[in-house]
Copies of this chain bind each other. A is one copy, B any other.
Amino acid sequence: MTKQKTAAILAIGDELLSGRTQDANMHYLAGWLTERGVELREARFVTDDMDDIGEALNALRTKYDYVVTSGGIGPTHDDITIDAIAKALGVSVITHPTAKKMIEKFYTAQGKEVTEARLRMARTPEGARLIVNKLSGAPGVCIENIFVMAGVPGIFRVMLTAIDDEIERGEVVHSRAATAYKLPESVIAGALGEIQTEIKGVSIGSYPIDGDDKGVTVVARSTDAAIADKAIEAVATAIKAQGFEPVMSDRKKSEE
């Protein structure tokens, strides 16, 4: 186990910013990285614009250990992620011989034609390695510290599985939660601030359920499980002192 690595996601696509499509990849990646002890520090969403993609990529790849991109690697004219990344890195775009074979094999096996559009998905920045895509043939791409993946959630997840071994595990953050229904968070705000100050090595977050009077979930996060336990016990005591009964929980799968 080492210190936590950091990561960012760059989600690419006009449809995400026009309100047409709700992104599902950021949230999934966040939970996936957290389980592996990697800290997702930032997410950026940009449109299908070469310069905007390049600028965001260059900012993120120099700041974080890993950058995961999603979207824009399909067969159509609006899929420009490969070109934008190559330009940002100052390398050429090539047709990757192995990617070409993968795509030929995938479509031929289905009795389908290997068209120019499909072969567009074999283009990579020069020097890239491939991320195997068991679902739909066309691979993702890894270059330097950047993982270039599909935007379609099912394929994004399959590609994550394929890069699992390349992600260096860090200290896993243990998360404990206490929920108090109907308790306004402002009532325990003072106590939470004190607990945050008194207990070292924990991060305490307070999340109102729907405004200040419907209740609150308090989350204690620490790489030391004992410290997370100690902090959430102190939170539970503060909740009880206000006459409310906390509902305790560890990090739930459904929240990931």
Contacts and interface: CB of A to CB of B under 8 A. Distances in A.
B14 A34 contact: no
Interface stretch (A86-94, A139-147, A184-192, A223-231): A184-192
B17 A22 contact: no
A220 to B, nearest CB: 11
Interface stretch (A124-132, A162-170, A202-210): A202-210
A42 interface: yes
Given A30-B16, A219-B15, A43 B44 contact: yes
A244 to B, nearest CB: 15
Interface string A61-86: 00000000000001111110000000
Contacts of A250: none
Interface residues of A, number: 79
Number of copies of this kind of chain in the complex? 2
A228 to B, nearest CB: 13
A236 interface: no
B18 A34 contact: yes
A234 interface: no
Interface of A: 13-23, 26-34, 39-48, 52, 56, 74-79, 110, 112, 115-118, 120-121, 135-138, 152, 154-155, 173, 175, 184-187, 189-190, 192-193, 196, 203-208, 210-213, 219, 221, 251, 255-256
